[in-house]
Structure 1
């Protein structure tokens, strides 16, 4: 199914999930979709493995956590999600050297907290893992003492596709 892309979210330079300058990172891109979901696109590599040819479960967890946690920023880019709890169900192995898609959405929210869910989708459309999580809503100034502007938090919107299929 095709989904209209509204915006590409910024990424960090050193983040393990989205960092453009992290040689061992996942270099994941995040797209805000017309249906209110967040879609992450990641190309897994051999160095993300646990068993040969299989992405480590902790890497899958990080991708799901980041995607669900970022989904809150769709409606307010000044709010970030800080993980309170995360439950993952692994259904199929995630292969290395494959493009995977991760979908995240908000399922419930109040003034201080939100809950979300997500899935890792393989190239063939199979769901490899699902997750549900609870997050605190926080501005970046309460999460870190460092600024996330300028050189660390970058916009890569020049690569924005009109539609993404999954």
Structure 2
């Protein structure tokens, strides 16, 4: 049985979405591409569609980090510093678990990203629970569905 990996969300099937790959045998992250061309205006935040969803074991998450070349050469940073994709985000009823990359352009010029351009990397990680953890909620939606408080 598959334990972790990536799939294309149904809205992007047949649109040439590449599943993330590591570029070297010692790379931690799987490179994630833009599913379509996007322009990020100066001082603007944009959600970049990836066309992907990720599945993993219940005690794992996918950490999303901006590629260093995006930050250093293009002036883009993740709006939320690190994106956290929980295992129960996969196939949620709102957006099928579609991974969206929230970037902020710190420059005074627009940044154009092409479809297929590698913008982020995903790293699968385990997490630990406290002795008194009693979480029992069930995810019913997509981004922000676990509440704002």
TM over 0.5: no
Computing the radius of gyration from Cα coordinates, the structure with the larger value is 2
Whose strand proportion is higher, 1 or 2? 1
TM-score w.r.t. length of structure 1: 0.30
TM-score normalised by the chain length of structure 2: 0.32
